[in-house]
Amino acid sequence: MNYKNLRTHENFILLNNYICMRTLQSMSSKTVKDLRLVSVFELSDEELTERLRPTYEKIKREAFEKNSYLTYYDPINCPTTAHAVHEYRDRKELMWIDGAGKEHLVKIL
């Protein structure tokens, strides 16, 4: 294994450990399958969503407290990968990003 692959593998392990620690601090109840002890790479989509939920909620709350917004790709609302959703405290906007990286409002969702 070369050094570059080792660094990438180590980064995945560090990411997994970070998520496990964050989840361990924020989860108050145990499920039948203790998701804190399972690698993120072994989780189903639903389990990964549940593990990341507390961190997502914290980030969302902090952004909205600052009157900021979250940007993400939503395959349901975004017709192409050149589109993104801006989620504000009180609304969501569908944005189109042109070739120069400038954002354009398509519609309020």
- DSSP secondary structure of 72-93: E--TTT-SSTTEEEEE-SS-EE
> Using CA atoms, how far apart are residues 105 and 89, in angstroms rounded to an integer?
17
> Using CA atoms, how far apart are residues 64 and 58, in angstroms rounded to an integer?
10
Q: Where are the domains of the chain?
A: 1-67, 69-109
pLDDT of 88 > 70? The answer is yes
What are the tens digits of pLDDT across the range 26-58? Answer: 555 555 566 567 787 888 888 888 888 999 899
